[in-house]
Chain A
Amino acid sequence: MSAAITLDHITKTYNKGATMAVDDISFAVEKGELFGLIGPDGAGKTTIFRLLTTLLLPDKGTGTVVGNDIVKDYHKIRGIVGYMPGRFSLYQDLTVEENLKFFATVFGTTIEENYDQIKDIYGMLEPFKNRRAGKLSGGMKQKLALCCALIHKPEVLFLDEPTTGVDVVSRKEFWEMLKRLKAQGITIMVSTSYMDEATLCDRIALMIEGKILSMDTPANVIKAYPEKLYAIKSSNMHGLLKDVRANEDILTCYAAGEYIHLSLKHEGKESEAQLLNFLQERGDTDLIFKETIPTVEDCFIRLLGNKDGNKEGNRN
Chain B
Amino acid sequence: MGTKKETVIRTKELTKKFGDFIAVDKISFEVHKGEIFGFLGANGAGKTTAMRMLCGLSRPTSGEAEVAGIDVYHNPEDIKKNIGYMSQKFSLYEDLTVLENIKFYAGIYGLTDKQIKDKSEELITKLDLQSQANTLVSLLPLGWRQKLAFSVAIVHQPKIVFLDEPTGGVDPSTRKQFWDMIYDASERGITIFVTTHYLDEAEYCDRICIMVDGKIKALDTPYQLKQNFKVDNITEVFYQLARTAKRGDD
Where the two chains meet, the residues of A that have a C-beta atom closer than 8 Å to any C-beta of B are 39-43, 135-141, 164-170, 172, 193-196, 208, 237-238, 241, 254-258, 297, 300-301, 304-305, 312-313, 315-316
Q: How far is the CA of A112 from the CA of B234 in the complex (A)?
A: 42
Cβ–Cβ contact B142 & A138, under 8 A: no
Partner-contacting stretch, out of B58-66, B129-137, B170-178: B170-178
Which of A42, A136, A170, A172: most chain B Cβ within 10 A?
A: A42
Cβ–Cβ contact A165 & B197, under 8 A: yes
Q: How far is the CA of A305 from the CA of B171 in the complex (A)?
A: 12
Q: How far is the CA of A42 from the CA of B203 in the complex (A)?
A: 27
Which residue of chain A is the closest to B248 with respect to CB atoms? A137
B44 within 8 A of A: yes
**Given A193-B168, A304-B172, 7 other A-B contacts at CB below 8 A?**
A40-B170, A40-B174, A166-B197, A167-B197, A196-B200, A300-B172, A301-B172
Cβ–Cβ contact A301 & B197, under 8 A: no
Cβ–Cβ contact B238 & A168, under 8 A: yes
Interfacial chain A residues near B179, Cβ < 8 Å: 255
Query: Shortest CB–CB separation between residue A208 and chain B, in angstroms?
Result: 6
B38 within 8 A of A: no
Query: Shortest CB–CB separation between residue B145 and chain A, in angstroms?
Result: 10
Q: How far is the CA of A140 from the CA of B211 in the complex (A)?
A: 19
B223 within 8 A of A: yes
Between A and B, 20 residue pairs with Cβ closer than 8 Å are: A40-B171, A43-B171, A136-B248, A137-B44, A137-B247, A138-B43, A140-B248, A165-B168, A165-B197, A167-B41, A167-B197, A172-B239, A193-B168, A193-B170, A241-B180, A254-B176, A255-B176, A257-B234, A258-B223, A313-B173
Query: Shortest CB–CB separation between residue B208 and chain A, in angstroms?
Result: 12
A164-B168, A168-B199 given; A238·B187 CB < 8 A:
yes
Cβ–Cβ contact B171 & A316, under 8 A: no
Q: Which of A40, A165, A169, A238 contacts B183 (CB 8 A)?
A: A238
Residue-by-residue, is B217-246 near A (CB-CB < 8 Å gives 1, otherwise 0)? 000001100000000011100110011010
Q: Which of B128, B169, B187, B204 contacts A40 (CB 8 A)?
A: B169
B19 within 8 A of A: no
Q: How far is the CA of A139 from the CA of B199 in the complex (A)?
A: 17
Query: Shortest CB–CB separation between residue A97 and chain B, in angstroms?
Result: 17
Which of B143, B169, B197: most chain A Cβ within 10 A?
A: B169
Query: Shortest CB–CB separation between residue A98 and chain B, in angstroms?
Result: 18
Cβ–Cβ contact A166 & B43, under 8 A: yes
Which residue of chain B is the closest to A194 with respect to CB atoms? B198
Cβ–Cβ contact A304 & B43, under 8 A: no
Cβ–Cβ contact B141 & A42, under 8 A: yes
Q: Which of A43, A166, A312 contacts B173 (CB 8 A)?
A: A312
Cβ–Cβ contact A300 & B242, under 8 A: no
